[in-house]
Chain A
Amino acid sequence: DAKTTQPPSMDCAEGRAANLPCNHSTISGNEYVYWYRQIHSQGPQYIIHGLKNNETNEMASLIITEDRKSSTLILPHATLRDTAVYYCIVRVRLWDNQGGKLIFGQGTELSVKP
């Protein structure tokens, strides 16, 4: 699995867009980019994933650069409840019958402030 690099922490004002970057310069052509988040003392929660194209769902948008070496998770209107640690993960398939060898790393601690 490709290694990812994220800033350890970020702040965002409530109501503004939160843009969380992730570098994955060694990503392979068949590897997906996944984003999960973990609110304090809770289990991780799936947010979004993508391969090449930008993706959007009800939670967030994922922007992947053309060379796929970096991506940005966008929370369009951050709320206080979005305060959490956000993990960027790159691998071929997140979960398969060979086992969920998921490596979350340290992630970015996002603090949304009023």
Chain B
Amino acid sequence: SQTIHQWPATLVQPVGSPLSLECTVEGTSNPNLYWYRQAAGRGLQLLFYSVGIGQISSEVPQNLSASRPQDRQFILSSKKLLLSDSGFYLCAWSDYLNTHEAFFGQGTRLTVV
């Protein structure tokens, strides 16, 4: 069966420090991968998505970047965190053949202080 792993679960970082959040998927090949952020309120905002190794699309301009060094690995990074980067970050994957369902990781609660 397929599983998605996201870590760490919680993170407290000072302003100006770097960030690296990692997401890996098991049990599938060539997944579509996504990074979302949930800030104030409940809505989720798509940050990045990837349909293959080295292929990254950004949805909104921001202080973050993403990389996909391996087929089932997706990394969210920042060189210098801002207070506004605080939030709940979620990684998700979907099967490129099944366009109706997506699977989310458990999320990372990031607090920038």
Contacts and interface: CB of A to CB of B under 8 A. Distances in A.
A50 to B, nearest CB: 10
A104 B44 contact: yes
Interface in B33-77: 34, 36, 41-44, 46, 49, 51, 57, 59
A49 B94 CA distance: 15
Contact of B100 (A95, A101, A106): A95
> What is the predominant secondary structure among interface residues of chain A facing chain B?
loop
B46 A43 contact: no
A46 B107 contact: no
A101 B90 contact: no
Interface in A21-65: 32, 34, 38, 41-46, 49
Interface residues of A, number: 27
A33 to B, nearest CB: 11
Contact of A49 (B36, B49, B90, B100): B100
Ordered nearest first, which 10 A-B pairs have the shortest CB separation? A43-B104, A95-B94, A99-B49, A93-B99, A104-B44, A100-B34, A46-B101, A96-B99, A95-B99, A44-B104
Interface of A: 32, 34, 38, 41-46, 49, 85, 87, 93-97, 99-107, 109
